[in-house]
């Protein structure tokens, strides 16, 4: 009796699956079914938030930068956060990454000095998704230090960050964008 019930349940499950076509559902609005082909590239954008302290209080802004090359200027007293966001409505995001570097130069009483360093690469690989993919993926927000003091009595002559963001979709299309943040003394 038990064996017969299990066989009946198995046959019923197979019949139901056959009847419904066993097509996976990518019904969540954040998902897209991965197509057989997609000639379009994903898009990437930088989300930059800047907090500036003024005599009348703090002013905060968040601005998207969507061009292949973007430049903005902030002060050494600002607080800055950068985030890379990749999107592809047609075939979904496969990989996304961001990396960068910074440079600082000062004039001091003993002559000019400079320093450079790398900002570690942050990346996400979603290639394990094979039927449905995420339409958009954001890397974690990165707070960057823009307070570049020079040894007294030095003056800041140059300071900047340069970030490169990359994204690829599930069908091999790619996108890249550069964000340069120039830093000035207040």
pLDDT of the chain, 186 residues: tens digit per residue: 455 544 554 444 444 444 455 556 899 999 999 999 999 999 999 999 999 999 999 999 999 999 999 999 999 999 999 999 999 999 999 999 999 999 999 999 889 999 999 999 999 999 999 999 999 999 999 999 999 888 888 899 999 999 999 999 999 999 999 999 999 988
- Any idea where the domains of the chain sit in the sequence? 31-184
- Report yes or no on whether pTM surpasses 0.85: no
DSSP state of 9: H
Residue 173: partners with Cβ closer than 8 Å, 6 or more residues away: 38, 39, 40, 41, 42, 88, 91
Class of domain 31-184: mainly beta
């Amino acid at each position: 009796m038990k064996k017969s019930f299990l066989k009946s349940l198995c046959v019923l499950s197979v019949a139901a699956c056959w009847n419904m076509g066993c097509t996976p559902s990518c019904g969540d609005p954040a998902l897209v079914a991965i197509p057989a082909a997609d000639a379009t590239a994903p898009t990437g954008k930088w989300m930059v938030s800047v907090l500036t302290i003024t005599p009348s209080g703090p002013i905060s802004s968040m601005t998207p930068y969507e061009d292949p090359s973007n430049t903005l200027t902030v002060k050494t007293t600002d607080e800055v956060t950068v985030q890379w966001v990749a999107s592809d409505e047609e075939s979904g995001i496969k990989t996304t990454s961001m990396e960068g570097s910074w440079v600082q130069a000062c004039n001091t009483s003993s002559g000019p000095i400079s320093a450079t360093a790398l900002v570690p690469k942050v990346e996400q690989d979603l290639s394990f998704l094979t039927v449905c993919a995420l339409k958009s993926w954001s890397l974690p927000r990165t707070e960057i230090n823009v307070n570049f003091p020079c040894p007294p009595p030095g003056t800041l002559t140059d300071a900047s960050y340069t970030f490169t963001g990359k994204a690829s979709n599930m069908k091999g299309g790619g996108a890249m964008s550069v964000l340069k943040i120039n830093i000035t003394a207040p």
